[in-house]
């Protein structure tokens, strides 16, 4: 019995070793070498200079903005979804855009947001006049939110679906206003979904790169951009790896902080 | 479960069918080994008629494959498993490939047409004596601008970019050497300068340009400038000619302080199988009449002196793409500054990009 169970374990362990453990070990190993291949801590020292610290701050700030706005839009949407008639259809409509390649969607926004694009001709028509939308913080956050929002809606939707409706009826019967019901009953019980959604958005948002160039015109520089530059242009793989290692550590910390507490809460 | 099996079976059958179809297409076109020559070039960078004529003349079948960056090309050749006979990288990539032993020497005795090349473009620092590479096209880095959007303003110097009335109007190409290069040039330093004070000065000067910069982008710059998203761009001359082909309100200038001179040269990578064919191809492309037609199609500047004589005057006299000798003297080729210096250039470029209004 245990023998066959161990047999089933083989694909998983092999996969983890080859595609998760080995790359991480390689990146950590690489991060201790400079461009000329000497063993050094220089890369990590360089990370502690104002340029990279500011870049780290930028990455976190924009990732935070993207997560916050995603949540702001996703929660009401998910709530409304659980209440509609054709749930499956609406859900599908939300998922379908995530089947389209990320770069294609991004390119579409260049056309929409451009000086002579659709959005600006609408603004012109309304009487506001042409604005610079492309290459601003606004367009960067907007497009990122657009791309990540399905990953925020789905876990929240699932959490709301699992919520026992009799709890809501009970709260109402006991005299709680709709707002109070939401604050004291619905929201705390779906916190697990919110956390899962925030993780699914925040972590990839930390290392975004192509969008920073295509939509923000390199006005927003994040750690992802720096990693891309070091691997493709400078070929300073050591520095690129050092940034990646630090990002992995930060992500692990975030996962531990949000993940564990979430689990404990749901048990309680 | 049944559906899942059906899905997998369907995908499997389609894949096998497509594989069979491709191999059928290849064999019916005579692509199954034998007398073929595989050329690995940038997209849309050769006149298809010229290729057809080459096939007719030599009886060789040409397989034409394209790449979109020097880095991608180098990685593919380095990994092996390919049979590219001729490739056309840029000069910095050539010096890298040379260092990594990815190139085979070219036998000049098999290329009688080599004499057609302007001696100015031979024996350059990235490949002394042209042991590994033969010039294909060359160009510069300069300013492309739309004077209609700027009320008739024109440009002649890099320093014109710092003008107050250009707020939010400039787009830069996302390249550390290009941007640091024009920063150095605007201060009358060499774009291969390695003096730390000069580099810092250039970075500070570039930071002052930030309010005028709308975006720093990659290849999209062609699309954005042709669509009048911005009025000014710093681009390679080749891209400039392409943009001007799409929107004739734009004009290109090589600033008077000097600029970068770049080359795309033909090389024979170590993956080559058909060495004789590769030499034949290089020689064929250097034929004056062929080179002239190719230059007219591609729109870049030809290094072939004999071909230049055959081009219509409106092209060969165009100082934007064929600058006069006085201007040419101020153009510099990027030297391979070594990994450490290149890394430093990138660091400074990154700092400049981080600088906000």
pLDDT confidence band for B279 (50 / 70 / 90): very high
What fold characterizes domain B2-138+264-316? D-Maltodextrin-Binding Protein; domain 2 (3.40.190)
> Residue B71 and residue A54: Cβ atoms within 8 Å?
no
Distance, in Å, from the CA atom of B190 to the CA atom of B258, rounded to the nearest integer, reads 9
Query: Each residue of A168-220: pLDDT tens digit?
Result: 999 999 999 989 998 999 999 999 999 999 999 999 999 888 899 899 998 88
Average pLDDT taken over every residue of chain A: 89
Residue whose structure tokens are 């939308």: A133
pLDDT band at A123 (very low <50, low <70, confident <90, very high): very high
CB contact under 8 A, A115 and B356: no
Q: What's the distance, Cα to Cα, between the start and end of chain A in Å?
A: 35
pLDDT, residue A262, reads: 46
Report the helix count and the strand count for chain A, using DSSP H and E: 15, 0
Do B273 and B83 contact (CB within 8 A), yes or no? Answer: yes
Closest CB to A55: pick one of B215, B339, B354.
Answer: B354
Is B110 an 8 Å CB contact of chain A? no
Average pLDDT over residues B334-352: 87
User: pLDDT tens-digit profile of B151-199?
Assistant: 889 999 999 999 999 999 999 998 888 999 999 999 999 999 999 999 9
The pLDDT score that the predictor gives to residue A72 is 96
User: Per the CB < 8 Å rule, is B342 touching A234?
Assistant: yes
Contacting residues of A for B168, CB less than 8 Å apart: 132
Q: Decide if A234 and B346 are in contact by the 8 Å CB cutoff.
A: yes
CB-CB contact of A141 with A224 (8 Å): no
CA atoms within 13 A on the CB side of B148: 6
Interface of A with B in 3-42 (CB under 8 A): 35-36
Residues 6+ apart with CB under 8 A from B37: B60, B61, B62, B63, B85, B86, B274, B277, B278, B281
Report pLDDT digits (tens) over B83-99: 899 999 988 889 889 98
Please give, rounded to a whole number of angstroms, the shortest distance from the CA of B341 to a CA of chain A: 10
Output the CA angle B93-B96-B97, nearest 5 degrees: 85
Which of B109-126 are b and which e, b meaning 16 or more Cβ less than 10 Å from the residue's Cβ? eebebbebbeeebeebeb
- For B340, which of A35, A110, A216 is closest by C-beta distance? A35
Where are chain B's structural domains? 2-138+264-316, 139-261+325-356
pLDDT at A264: 44
CA angle (A23, A25, A29) in 5-degree steps: 115
Of the pLDDT bands very low, low, confident and very high (cuts 50, 70, 90), residue A267 is very low
Three-class DSSP category at A118: helix
Averaged pLDDT of chain B: 90
Radius of gyration of chain B (CA): 23
Q: What is the pTM of this model?
A: 0.83
- B339/A132 Cβ within 8 A: no
> CB neighbours of A100 closer than 8 A, spacing ≥ 6?
none
Local structure of residue B164 (DSSP, 8 states): G
Q: Give, in words, the CATH class of B139-261+325-356.
A: alpha beta
Q: Does A226 touch chain B (CB under 8 A)?
A: yes
ipTM here: 0.83
Chain-centre distance of CA B112, in angstroms? 26
* pLDDT tens digits, B28-59: 655 545 688 999 998 888 999 999 999 999 98
In the structure, what pLDDT confidence band is assigned to residue A5 with cuts at 50, 70 and 90?
A: confident
Whether B281 contacts B106, CB under 8 Å: no
Q: Would you say the CATH fold of B139-261+325-356 matches that of B2-138+264-316?
A: yes
What is the structure's pLDDT at A234? 75
pLDDT mean over A91-119: 90
Q: What is the mean pLDDT of residues B106-134?
A: 92
Measured distance CA(A202)–CA(A152) in Å, rounded: 10
Query: What would the mean pLDDT of A155-180 be, rounded to a whole number?
Result: 92
């Amino acid at each position: 019995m245990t023998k066959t169970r161990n047999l089933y374990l083989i694909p998983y362990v092999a996969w983890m070793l080859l595609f998760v453990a080995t790359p991480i070990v390689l990146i950590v190993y690489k991060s201790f070498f400079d461009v000329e291949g000497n063993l050094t801590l220089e890369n990590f020292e360089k990370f502690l200079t104002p340029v990279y610290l500011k870049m780290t701050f930028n990455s976190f700030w924009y990732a935070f903005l993207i997560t916050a706005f995603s949540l702001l839009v996703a929660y009401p949407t998910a709530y409304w979804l659980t209440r509609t008639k054709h749930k499956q259809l609406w859900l599908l409509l939300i998922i379908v855009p995530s089947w389209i390649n990320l770069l294609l969607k991004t390119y579409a926004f260049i056309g929409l947001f451009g000086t002579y694009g659709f959005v600006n001709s609408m603004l012109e028509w309304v009487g506001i006049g042409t604005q610079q939308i492309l290459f601003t913080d606004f367009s960067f956050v907007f497009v990122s939110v657009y791309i990540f929002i399905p990953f925020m809606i789905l876990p929240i939707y699932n959490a709301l679906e699992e919520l026992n409706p009799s709890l809501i009826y009970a709260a109402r019967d006991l005299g709680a206003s709709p707002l109070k019901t939401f604050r004291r009953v619905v929201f705390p019980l779906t916190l697990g979904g919110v956390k899962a959604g925030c993780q699914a958005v925040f972590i990839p948002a930390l290392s975004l790169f192509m969008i920073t160039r295509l939509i923000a015109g390199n006005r927003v520089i994040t750690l992802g951009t720096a990693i891309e530059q070091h691997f493709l242009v400078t070929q300073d793989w050591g520095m690129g790896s050092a940034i990646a290692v630090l990002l992995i550590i930060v992500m692990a910390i975030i996962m531990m902080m949000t993940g564990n507490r979430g689990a404990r809460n749901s048990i309680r | 479960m049944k559906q899942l099996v059906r899905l997998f079976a369907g995908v499997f059958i389609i894949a096998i069918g497509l594989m069979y179809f491709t191999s059928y297409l290849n064999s019916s076109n005579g692509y199954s080994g034998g007398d073929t020559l595989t050329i690995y070039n940038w997209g849309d960078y050769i006149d298809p008629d010229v290729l057809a004529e080459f096939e007719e003349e030599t009886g060789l079948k040409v397989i034409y494959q394209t790449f979109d960056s020097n880095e991608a090309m180098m990685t593919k050749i380095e990994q092996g498993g390919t049979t590219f006979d001729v490739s056309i990288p840029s000069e910095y990539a050539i010096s890298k490939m040379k260092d990594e032993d990815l190139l085979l020497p070219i036998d000049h005795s098999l290329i009688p047409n080599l004499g057609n090349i302007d001696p100015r473009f031979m024996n350059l620092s990235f490949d002394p004596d042209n042991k590994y590479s033969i010039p294909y096209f060359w160009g510069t880095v300069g300013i492309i601008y739309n004077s209609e959007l700027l009320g008739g303003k024109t440009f002649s110097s890099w320093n014109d970019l710092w003008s107050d009335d250009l707020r939010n109007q400039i787009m830069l190409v996302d390249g550390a050497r290009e941007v640091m290069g024009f920063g150095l040039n605007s201060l009358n330093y060499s774009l291969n300068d390695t003096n730390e004070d000069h580099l810092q000065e250039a970075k500070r000067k570039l930071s002052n340009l930030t309010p005028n910069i709308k975006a720093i982008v990659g290849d999209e710059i062609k699309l954005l400038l042709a669509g009048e998203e911005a009025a000014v761009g710093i681009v390679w001359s080749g891209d400039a000619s392409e943009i001007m082909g799409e929107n004739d309100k734009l004009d290109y200038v090589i600033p008077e302080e000097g600029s970068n001179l770049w080359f795309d040269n033909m090389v024979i990578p170590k993956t080559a199988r058909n060495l004789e064919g590769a030499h034949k191809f290089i020689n064929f492309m250097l034929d004056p009449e062929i080179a002239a037609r190719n230059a007219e199609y591609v729109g870049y500047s030809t290094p072939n002196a004999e071909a230049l004589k055959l081009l219509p005057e409106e092209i060969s006299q165009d100082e934007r793409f064929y600058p006069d000798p006085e201007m040419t003297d101020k153009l510099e080729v990027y030297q391979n500054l070594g990994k450490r210096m290149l890394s430093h250039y990138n660091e400074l470029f990154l700092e400049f990009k981080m600088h906000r209004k």
